[in-house]
């Protein structure tokens, strides 16, 4: 009997701890207005890195370390600009539309269970609009530390975040879309 009580209380303790981690992740995300981070991105085996700033909802500015590449969203459109190219997309057509929508993320996190994938990482995975999305959170800081998406064309994108700063002062025109040269 003692053995069963020990197992019961241990299981109860683990599930309560796990639930509080999920609650803390949700609280941490809800308190964030903006974040700045360094990133490493792997798109179908092609590695790029740089620095991004996100302001919720749906605004992002990323400067890549190579090729004078930037990615900017003003909340409606997404521009990817390099020295030789200029692409503009409606943000709704990209997985970033969901990843940069804090209200959407909070609702998803409240309604799905996270999975432990590494010692300090919890993964929340879901499918939305034919996009498979996994969000990775640090179990100690409760910060978003990356995501993985697979779009309808089976393009895989894994982004890992580091050096995360939250709720910083932002430059006024940071999310202004660049013009095509």
- Check whether 12 has a pLDDT greater than 70: no
The whole-model pTM stands at 0.85
For residue 94, give the nearest of 120, 121, 71, 68 by alpha carbon. 71
pLDDT beyond 90 at 154: no
Question: What is the CATH superfamily name and number for domain 2-166?
Answer: Lipoprotein localisation LolA/LolB/LppX (2.50.20.10)
Residue ranges per structural domain of the chain: 2-166
Can you tell me the distance from the alpha carbon of 93 to that of 97, in angstroms, rounded to the nearest whole number? 7
**pLDDT tens string 53-101:** 999 999 999 999 987 899 999 999 999 999 899 999 999 988 999 999 9
Q: What is the pLDDT of residue 163?
A: 97
Which residues, other chains included, contact 117 with Cβ-Cβ below 8 Å and sequence gap of 6+?
A: 123, 136
């Amino acid at each position: 009997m003692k053995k069963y009580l020990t197992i019961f209380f241990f299981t109860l303790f683990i599930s309560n701890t796990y639930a509080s981690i999920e609650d803390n992740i949700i609280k941490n995300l809800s308190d964030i207005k903006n974040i700045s981070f360094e990133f490493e991105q792997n798109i179908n085996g092609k590695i790029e890195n740089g620095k991004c700033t996100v302001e919720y909802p749906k605004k992002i500015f990323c400067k890549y370390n190579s090729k004078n590449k930037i990615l900017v969203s003003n909340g409606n459109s997404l521009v990817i600009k390099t020295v030789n190219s200029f692409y503009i997309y409606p943000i709704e057509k990209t997985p970033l539309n969901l990843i940069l929508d804090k209200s959407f993320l909070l609702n998803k996190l409240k309604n799905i269970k996270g999975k432990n994938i590494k010692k300090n990482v919890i993964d929340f995975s879901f499918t939305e609009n034919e996009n498979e999305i996994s969000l990775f959170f640090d179990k100690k800081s409760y910060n978003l530390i990356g995501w993985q998406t697979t779009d309808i064309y089976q393009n895989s994108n894994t982004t890992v975040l580091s050096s995360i700063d939250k709720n910083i002062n932002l430059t006024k025109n940071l999310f202004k879309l660049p013009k095509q040269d």
